[in-house]
Structure 1
Amino acid sequence: MLYVVEVPKKGLPKCWSAPDMESFVAQVQLERKTICHVTDRVMFERITAKELLGRLGNPAPSELIGTEQEWLYDVLMDQGMHAKLYRADAYTKDDGSYSIEPINEYEATLSWLSEELDTILVFESIEEARAALYDMRNWLFSGGMEGLTGLADLLEATPTSGTALGKAVLQQFQLCAART
């Protein structure tokens, strides 16, 4: 189970969970479409050289020589039509570029969210999320108290969590804040 704390550049943190990395990616992609995120930037794409050639109008590979797509000619000659190409603009920090090097879709999605948000915290297990509640360094950002209580509430609502965390964690956070 993944536990996510998203802290926007403006506004309050949002806490949510996903059963696994695939569900995390699907949820982020769905939300991105829902909020009408219009951009030429690509979160993640996996395509074959043949499919990309089709997008370009199916030119003969030799027609790519001397153009911006000459790299695709090289891929076609070295790897063939079924070579897998990857694109993830935030992850590679290179908008519009394809690579034959595999890119992990989960990591690309995290990179995308990191650019969109002020802070993102992702805990990959309930134990990691619980431990994070007690490490006040995780919550020293604008909206940290709301993020902490949101995660505590999310963990309380998780059937496998088994313990009431919210009030105890909030009291600890308030004690730490009072000492500083």
Structure 2
Amino acid sequence: MGRPDYRDALTRMDVLARLAAFDPHVAGTPPLGLALAGSDIDVLCHAPDPDCFASAVWQAFGGCQGFAMWQWQGGDRPVIARFEGAGWIFELFGQARPVAAQLGWRHFVVERRLLSIGGAPFARTVRALREDGLKTEPAFAAALGLAGDPYQAVLALERLDDRALARIVARAG
């Protein structure tokens, strides 16, 4: 039967409404159309007060199967929580910086632009690389022939306009 569409899972678990105070944004492979069987749903949140975010997440999702939450040390100390529901694994990421400034969102926006420019052929290439075991950013970097650290290489593309991105995609194709 398979799991439901990620949007249905978000609705069934009421994730976006429960996190509304933290400006939640769905990122990652499901909205890009690149989800694999083991992909999770990433929800990025603006959490200027990590303790408040952690408390809200615990209250909303602490009873869910596989619930775990931790906080990174250093910097702005993002809070991450994982849990299962509606056939998916959810990963919530709360960081003090606004979502638009978070690295995960910035990567997502660049990848969405690349997929829009490259269309179905480029998406098939990235998906095939993911099916071969690459994570998302390394798959994009490999598909584009980008050298160096794939996370930095993909992020460096965000400053380019769509015409420049189209040249890179065409050159790689």
Rg larger for:
1
Q: TM-score range by the shorter chain?
A: under 0.3
TM-score normalized with structure 1 length = 0.26
Greater fraction strand:
2
Higher relative contact order (CA 8 A, sep 6+): 1
Structure-2-length-normalised TM-score: 0.27
